[in-house]
Amino acid sequence: MESSKASYYKAANLNGLSREVRIFKGLIGGRARAHLDKVFIEGAHQAEVHQETCLRILSEGGETPEMPEPKPFQMVKTKTESIYTYVPAEFAKEMYIIGSLYQTASIGPTETLRMAQEVADKVSLDLGLDEPFIAVQFLRDELEETGGEINASTEAQGGEAEDT
């Protein structure tokens, strides 16, 4: 876990245009994208569980618990292994909240995609990536398949950045 955190900060602090620097930053950017996607999903899942728990506790006369925090590290599968990923807590928390707001229908798909991309843009900037990565591509694909609500500006924003 500490290695994933150290790699994130190493990528964020690397300067230069060498091939090695670009490859390393791209690798860490890909891991950050996977991390944020998992945090979004975790936030959506926890929102559902939290709502059910709150309803049960309220019906029993208790006080509602606070929503849990996102995990600082995520386990993701690569082509050959499973690894831990890391992004700073402020970015993870933002994405977690977006996932929970989407799950509870507090925000619609267009707003969700816009907000998630803003977080991805911040992480991409933090890492010094040439192009921001696309956040929650799985949601974009799902909405496209089902004919969901995506406006042209959101599609254009998502379509311009390359997958790092």
Closest by Cα among 115, 109, 114 to 148: 109
pLDDT in tens, 100-140: 999 988 999 999 999 999 999 999 999 999 999 999 999 88
Number of domains in the chain: 1
Structural domain boundaries, residue 131: 2-160
In the block, residue with structure tokens 């992480």: 123
Segment 22-49, tens digit of pLDDT: 999 999 999 999 999 999 999 988 877 7
